[in-house]
Structure 1
C-alpha cells in the first residue's frame, strides 16, 4: 500500500500519484516546480516567489503561519507539503484532519537531501529528485573552504538583534563554508545584545537579506560596533532555502568566501 513517512515520522496514505498539491513553504514550492510538477501544484503561500513566472499563476493560500482554510478547501488538494519550523502547529493539525499532510523537519544538508528524495518518491518524481540530490551533493563536496577557520555571526533580525545559533540549517551551512559560529552555544535563534556581539569578536558578520531585509545601509552601523570585522550582506535564500535552490548555493558560497 502506498504509505509514506514524513520527517516527523508521521505516516500518510496516498492511493495514487497526487494531482492537486498545496505547498506551504517557499523553498519546497520551488523544488516541486524543479521536479516537473508545474501542473500538479495548485496552491502556494504569498511568500513563494520562485520560479517567478510560474508562481504567478497559482492560487495564494495565505502566509506560512496564517493559512486561508477556505482557499485551501476550494482547491481540494490530495497532498499538502509543509515544514515544522516554517508553519504553525495548530494550522497543520487542522489541515491534517482533512488532507494528507507531509511535513519536513530540517537541520542539516543531509536532512535537506533526504527531504528532496522523499518528496520525489511521494509525487512520482523519484528519478528527477535523485538527479537533483546528486548534483547538490557533488557541488557541496567541491566547495573549497579557507585554510583556517573563520569566526562568524549570522544576523536574521534587527530590533531586537537576533542571530543564528546551533541546531539550525543555517548553522550547518556556515560550518560547510569553514565558518565557526560564535553563537554556536546558543540555541536556535537567540536575541543578543551589542555587548554580547562585541565580546564574541567575530571576524565576519553576515547580515541576511531575509527574514529581516538587511541592506547596504546597515553595514556602517555594524562596522561602528566592530571596526575590525568584515561585514557583508548575505543572500538569505542561499543559506536557508533547503530545496532545489541548493543547486545554486555552493557557487554563491564560494564567491562569498573569495570576497572575504
Structure 2
C-alpha cells in the first residue's frame, strides 16, 4: 500500500503501526519519528516565516475568514506519487490542509486513493483512530497491541495519583491572544491528578482573556503553545511574564506541546505521564521529557 500522511499525528501513528515502509510522503511539519524527516514533502506553509505569536493569530484569522488555506498541498507531487491511501483531518483548519481540498484533489488522481479523516476530540477517540487506521491498513494486530499498551500506561498513571489532592490547572495553548486548551487536554489533566479550571474535555480550544484566567485561580499554569517545543514555549512565557505572574499560580512551566499535547497521536500518553510528573512528582518521579520551569 502507498500511503500519504497529511497530518503529523497520523504520520506518528502509521510508524507506530509498523507501516514506515509504506508511507511514501508526509507534510513539511512531520518531524517524528526522525525517519519521517527523510520522506518527500507534499505540503508547505502559506504564511510567511518569522511571524510573532500575535502576528500568526492575526494572519490565520484573516485567511480563514476569507476562506483561504493555511497550508498548501502539492497536487502535482501527489499525481506523481499515485497513493492508495491519504490520511488527513478536518478537526482544525489551522493544523493541516483543508479536508475539502484533499478530497477534491484525491478525486483527480488516477489511482483514486481512499481518504481517511482522523478527527478525534477526546483521548478515547484518539485510541479509536488507532483501530480505524489499523483496520484500513491491514495492521489490526499491531493496532490491538498499541491500544493495549497505551491503556495500560494510562491506568498506571491514574493509579499512581489516586488519592492525591487535585491541583487546579490552567493549560494555555496560546498567549497572544490567550487560548485555553480543549479537546483531550482537560482529560489528560484529570487523569494526571489535576482539575482543568478553564478547558472542557471534548470541546475546542477557546479564546479567553487574562482576567478570566486570573479569576480561575490556578495552582499550576502549563504553557503549551500549539506547535511549539519547550524552549520556544518558555520564550513565549517570558515574553508574557508580567501577565503570568499576575495569575498568582504557585508554578508556571513550559512544555513541548508539539510532541506531547497538540498532536492526537501515540505520544499523548507520554504527555499524560509528563503532566502527572508536573502535578505530582512524588507519585510519578520520571517523565519522557522534563518541563521547563518559568521564573517570573
- TM-score, normalised relative to structure 1: 0.82
In structure 1, what is the equivalent of residue 220 of structure 2? 204
Give the SS at the match of 1:80. strand
Give 2:189's match in structure 1, choosing from 166, 169, 174. Answer: 174
Q: Quick one: distance in 2 between partners of 1:105 and 1:56?
A: 24
User: Cα–Cα, structure 1 residues 251 and 197, in superposed 2: closer, same or farther, change >3 Å?
Assistant: closer
Q: Is the contact made by 1:164 and 1:171 (CA closer than 8 Å) also made in structure 2?
A: yes
Deviation at 1:232, TM superposition (A): 0.9
Partner of residue 242, structure 2: 221
Q: Cα RMSD over matched residues?
A: 2.3
Q: 2:198 aligns with which of 164, 183, 186?
A: 183
CA spacing shift, 1:247–1:33, aligned 2, 3 Å:
same
| Contact 1:48-1:55 at 8 Å conserved across structures | yes
Residue 106 in 1 paired to residue 88 in 2?
no
Aligned counterpart in structure 1 of residue 267 of structure 2, from 231, 245, 253:
245
Instruction: Indicate conservation of the 8 Å contact 2:221/2:249, yes or no.
Output: no
Q: Tell me the residue number matched to 1:95.
A: 105
Mapping 1:1-260, distance limit 5 Å: 19-52=1-34, 54-63=35-44, 65-85=71-91, 86-87=95-96, 88-98=98-108, 99-143=113-157, 144-145=160-161, 147-165=164-182, 168-184=183-199, 188-212=204-228, 213-215=232-234, 218-219=237-238, 220-236=241-257, 237-246=259-268, 248-259=270-281
Query: Using a 3 Å threshold, how does the CA distance of structure 1 residues 119 and 217 change in structure 2: closer, same or farther?
Result: closer
SS at match of 1:215: helix
**TM-fit CA distance, 1:256:** 2.1
Deviation digits for residues 16-59 of structure 1 (CA, Å, limit 9, x no counterpart):
xxx1100011111011112111111001001100111x113211
Structure 1 residue 96, shift from structure 2 partner: 4.3
Could you tell which deviates more after superposition, 56-65 or 243-252?
A: 243-252
Q: By how many angstroms is 1:222 displaced?
A: 4.5
Count of aligned pairs: 239
Query: The residue matched to 1:244 in structure 2 has which SS?
Result: coil
- Contact 1:139/1:250 (8 A) holds in 2: no
Mapped partners of 1:188, 1:56: distance in 2: 29
CA contact (8 A) 1:104 1:115 kept: yes
Mark the runs of 5 or more structure 1 residues left unpaired by the alignment.
Answer: 1-18
User: Which structure exhibits the higher relative contact order, with contacts defined as CA atoms closer than 8 Å and separated by 6 or more residues?
Assistant: 1
Q: In the aligned structure 2, how far is the partner of 1:115 from the partner of 1:41?
A: 17
Q: CA deviation at 1:257?
A: 2.4
Name structure 2 gaps, 5 residues minimum: 45-69, 283-296
Residues 183 and 250 from structure 1, CA distance in 2 versus in 1: closer, same or farther, beyond 3 angstroms?
A: closer
- CA deviation after TM superposition for structure 1 residue 92, in Å: 2.7
Question: 1:209 deviation in Å?
Answer: 5.0
Shift of 1:61: 0.7
Q: Distance in 1 between matches of 2:267 and 2:179?
A: 24
